[in-house]
Chains A and B, each alone.
Chain A
Amino acid sequence: KQEVTQIPAALSVPEGENLVLNCSFTDSAIYNLQWFRQDPGKGLTSLLLIQSSQREQTSGRLNASLDKSSGRSTLYIAASQPGDSATYLCAVLTGGGNKLTFGTGTQLKVEL
């Protein structure tokens, strides 16, 4: 059974800092890995999707890496802003490309 863990569970940083969020998964037989953002009481916003054959993806201040063999991914956020405050979820697609398993989430707070 695939299990996805995210560290840290919560993070508070001052504005402008660069930060790294970690995601690990137990079964390396994945199709892809995706990072989402969730604001309080809201649905999910997809940030980055990395296919199993890829090493990283970048979008603006966000960079996600994937080490499939070790079961790890990191989300790097450069020059953090208060608007980045949210819960960040990683999810891996397995089960014949049909099942998304979500991590436990990292609650990020960027303070002025």
Chain B
Amino acid sequence: GAVVSQHPSWVICKSGTSVKIECRSLDFQATTMFWYRQFPKQSLMLMATSNEGSKATYEQGVEKDKFLINHASLTLSTLTVTSAHPEDSSFYICSAREPVRGRETQYFGPGTRLLVL
């Protein structure tokens, strides 16, 4: 099946710094990628939908200037958490949709755990 990778898997940073998380589709081209956030003991919440070559669509309540998304190629989307604060500590998961399989199939990455001190 299709594989999605994320890097890094773990990141610890100081408050005020920016952190970049990469999401790659390894064996398929993904015109659309999704970014989710999961707080402890809670479910996944969609943050934004990333379309290759265009601006991301953010869900209500998600600050686009804080969570910068770049989908520069068909296999790579990046999420940058700018000026991270402890409340941004969370598990970030991306998914990618493979067009040839139809819009209903999303493949999920292994997640990136962010801890802001």
Task: Write the residues of chain A forming the contact surface with B, with a CB cutoff of 8 angstroms.
Answer: 31-32, 36, 41-44, 46, 49, 51, 89, 91, 93, 97-105
Contacts and interface: CB of A to CB of B under 8 A. Distances in A.
Interface residues of B, number: 22
A41 B113 contact: yes
B104 A102 contact: no
Interface of B: 6, 32, 34, 36, 42-46, 49, 91, 93, 95, 103-106, 108-111, 113
A105 B104 contact: no
A100 B111 CA distance: 17
B43 A104 contact: yes
16 contacts: A31-B103, A36-B108, A41-B111, A41-B113, A43-B108, A49-B104, A97-B104, A98-B103, A99-B46, A99-B49, A100-B46, A101-B46, A102-B36, A102-B43, A102-B44, A103-B43
